[in-house]
Amino acid sequence: MMIVKISWRNVWRNKVRSGILIASIAIGLLGGIFTMALLNGMMESKVQESLITEMAHVQIHRKGFEINNNFRDSIPSYEKVVKIVETDSLTKGCSPRVVINGMASSANDSQGIKILGIDTQKERGVTEIESFLIEGDFFKGKRKNQIVIGSSLAKKLKVKIRSKVVIAYMGPNNEMINTAYRVAGIFATSSPDFDKSVAFTQSKDIWRNTGEQFIHEIAITSIEGGSKPEGLRDHLKESIANSSLNIQTWREIVPELSALAETGNTNSYIILGIILFALGFGILNSMTMAIWERSRELGVLMAVGLERSKVFLMIVLETIYISMIGGIIGAILSIVLITYYGEHGIQYAEMSLAGFNNVVYPIMPESFIPLFLMILLTAIVSALPPALRAIKLKPAEAVRYKG
């Protein structure tokens, strides 16, 4: 116990040195954790935006549709499937969709797009694309053949609200269907690719133009949220029990989106690792100085009977105390800053770039345990050289040391 007490009191012998070291660890850790929270926030925002603009949490397709996007691969007896989905206890919202790949053309230009034919009311229960509108409305009028397009597509086609856009696609019997639509609304998400390649229209218009009623996709949200879509998927697999259908979570449909979130974590740990590596040298330097100054004292301790293993422990403990104090202060500062900016957001660019929102809301790491383990490891590794130097001291020489 006395060793523990000595180590603790040794921390405070040179308050300036320990203070600087503790502050370095705290600030370094704050930087690491905050960067981690920012990256988490960016990735989560990207994932969330994908979920609320199109993806939802779970999707049902006919098997093979996701590969060929074949018009004929519609969901058989879809009304029955939709009913099962809507009555599931984990379902929050359910939107049956027609999904067609086609060409959007104006008098100026044309662009290949994916057309989502939706039931407006049901789509509102699943995605929030309406909240991204920058002009016009989301199928409020009763006019037929309206379309809501992204800002990038509008720019490319040089069209505005109420402009005419011709949508061409292969019909169910491999005939070319050309239909003129009026632009009802223009949305702008943080993803220029999405804004350029996806357009919404009403499924009833597509049904009327093709002469058939069908859907290709059922997008569903779970009451358990986007982070836990597996429960809903498993429920639906059991209740629908149709082997011709693929019932998948967003993670299964777009694994790269899921990987993106993981990438955020990996990047964070790499950044934190670099920070701690640099801090390790600071700790090593300070502890080496401290041991050098205390050589005589350590020699006396060994002379009067302190075993070398306890000298080693004493130095490692002192380093661990310093690192843990710095770690706790850093963690508290991080919690305060992340909580504040998690509510207010940080605007780090004038506009959204490369699919990432320009306002980031940092997200608290799920656990601080890995961080503390990293600090602990840094402390122990940094303490090893001075501790090994200390136990190699010869008492007879050390007691003559004048500092």
Site for another protein, rule CB under 8 A: 1-2, 5-6, 9-10, 13, 296-297, 300-308, 310, 394-396, 399-400
Residue 131 DSSP code: G
Q: Least distance to another protein from the beta carbon of 230, Å?
A: 56
CA 369 to chain centre: 19
Residues 124 and 130: beta-carbon distance below 8 Å:
yes
Q: Which is nearer to another protein, 142 or 392 (CB)?
A: 392
Token duo for residue 52? 């609320």
Is 74 in contact with 121 (CB distance < 8 Å)? no
CB burial of residue 94 (10 Å; 0-12, 13-18, 19+): buried
CB of 12 to another protein, least distance (A): 8
Cα–Cα distance, 272 to 115 (Å, whole number): 43
H-helix or E-strand spanning residue 372: helix 369-391
**CB nearer another protein, residue 243 or residue 309:** 309
CA distance 337 to 37: 10
Nearer to another protein among residue 42 and residue 291 (C-beta): 291
List phi, psi (to 5°) of 220: -130, 140
Of the pair 137, 307, the CB lying nearest another protein is at 307
Query: Which C-beta is closer to another protein: that of 6 or that of 335?
Result: 6
* Nearest-approach distance from CB 291 to another protein, in angstroms: 15
Which C-beta is closer to another protein: that of 221 or that of 286?
286
Q: How far is the CB of 293 from another protein (least distance, A)?
A: 12
Residue 278 to residues 27, 187, 379, Cα–Cα distance (Å): 12, 46, 12
Residue 328 Cβ vs another protein, minimum distance, rounded to whole Å: 22
**Total residues found in the chain within this entry:** 403
Under 8 Å between Cβ of 117 and 98: yes
Q: At closest approach, how far in Å is the CB of 384 from another protein?
A: 20
Q: How far is the CB of 393 from another protein (least distance, A)?
A: 11
3 state SS for 176-227: EEEEEEEEEEEECCCCHHHHHHEEEEEHHHHHHHHCCCCCCEEEEEECCCCC
3-class secondary-structure state, position 393: coil
For another protein, which is the closer residue by CB, 174 or 305?
305
Q: Where do we find the tokens 């506009």?
A: 351
Cβ contacts of 310 within 8 Å, gap of 6 or more: 3
Smaller CB separation from another protein, 311 or 374: 311
Q: How far is the CB of 28 from another protein (least distance, A)?
A: 27
Q: How many angstroms separate the CA atoms of 268 and 308, rounded?
A: 39
